[in-house]
A and B are shown apart, each in its own frame.
Chain A
Amino acid sequence: NAGVTQTPKFRVLKTGQSMTLLCAQDMNHEYMYWYRQDPGMGLRLIHYSVGEGTTAKGEVPDGYNVSRLKKQNFLLGLESAAPSQTSVYFCASSYPGSPYGYTFGSGTRLTVV
């Protein structure tokens, strides 16, 4: 099915470990975003990209890095995981000026112990 695919769906990390979350979309969307969702705080923007090869910081970028080497992929990296990064991570994509909003992936539940 067309849409946004996130891998993995679940992951447990030890403090200090690193990992990469992968987001892939097949809708030819220009814009891609990484959000984290925590109880009572809604979704907060970590990083975003407005095109291949470009990235920018969002509201809560510390401790994360991103890359968009291909238009369809947006990678989120944690270099040294901390318990404060325990969260559900969502990737989303959109098209400039689209009235159809974001298309979200189904999320990655990350626990850092």
Chain B
Amino acid sequence: EDQVTQSPEALRLQEGESSSLNCSYTVSGLRGLFWYRQDPGKGPEFLFTLYSAGEEKEKERLKATLTKKESFLHITAPKPEDSATYLCAVTGTASKLTFGTGTRLQVTL
């Protein structure tokens, strides 16, 4: 059974204080690892797809990386508007998306 574990559960940063979120996974035949952002009361918003170890993707202050066992979402010089829950999910040979419980990020001034 595919599994995704995200850490930390919650993270509080000051504006400009860079950090990383972790997503550890076990999956049968990785077909894709996905990062989503979810604001309170809203649906998840797609950020990145990573397909193979060594791949990296960037968008503004966010950078996602992938190894054979985990993915990191690096946040560089975060701003308050980056506050949200960040979800990681994987899909394997079963073609089913398995989510982690997310990391709740709060960025303060």
Do chains A and B interact in one complex? Answer: no
Binding site for A on B (CB under 8 A): none
Query: Which residues from chain A sit less than 8 Å from chain B, CB to CB?
Result: none
